[in-house]
Amino acid sequence: MKPQEFKTWVKRKLGQDDTCGIRVELTDNQIEQCLEDAKAWFNSYVGLYRESSFSMVESQSEYDLSAVTPKIDDVVKLWFPSQGYQIDFNVLYPGFLDINGIPYGTGAWWSKGSPQTTIVQTLQALESTAKVLSSELGWEFVQDFTVVPAICMVRIMPAPIVSGKCVYQYRVDPTTIKLEQYPQRYLWLIREWALAECKYTLGRIRGKYTGGLPAAGGDRQLDGDSLIQESIADKERITTMVLDFQGPVMPLIG
């Protein structure tokens, strides 16, 4: 469904019939605004996601994403290069390592009746430290359109000590996506929410005529209040459907 087809569909759903001269008091601009509001609602509840990548460079913390198409609304996931984050012990803990980069240890110690040599201690230390310190590599998405030039970037903390390809998943800015570009499985949600928005707008318009609309046979009462109530009920129904469709929120384990 393209925007013009959507406008025709909305007016028909609201009772317009050109063959009988029945008109709906909504302009194209008002319907377009309702459609944009529906796309924004969809983005906040469901979202349209894409994947892209950038080249991570050693010692570089910030990576500009302002030229990505379609435009980014938020970065939600980031995967670092497959070789992982290599820990530079000499930088993090100067003096902790010997000249060969191996944790210093001498002699042996006893655990559960078995002698633990230096090499065993070394391997255990390397494994445990990698598990703990690898989690220190973090990232954040930074966006600010109030400055010139606008800021849209990923910042990696601390600065990487390896290079490679970073893949990220981002939520698309709904203002940069045309209606017909949405997947069919989501398009009906946007359409139904936009229709509810149109009902509310039409209800506000008709609600201005509190005494009715003057007509040859007497004042005609309009259905402004009922349209608003119907719009509110439609939105509650659609939101419930979306939440049920998505399933329960899984707990975060970290």
DSSP string across 119-156 = HHHHHHHHHHHHHHHGGG-EEEEEEESSSSSPEEEEEE
Angle at 40 between CA 37 and CA 43, to 5 degrees: 155
d(Cα 242, Cα 42) in Å, to the nearest integer? 9
Mean pLDDT of the chain: 78
Q: What is the mean pLDDT of residues 30-57?
A: 91
Instruction: Say which range, 216-220, 234-238, 240-244, has the weakest mean pLDDT.
Output: 216-220
pLDDT of 227 reads 92
User: Is residue 118 predicted with pLDDT exceeding 70?
Assistant: no
pTM: 0.63
Counting residues of the chain whose pLDDT is more than 70, the rounded percentage is: 69
pLDDT in tens, 177-212: 888 888 888 888 899 999 999 999 999 888 877 666
pLDDT of 216 reads 55
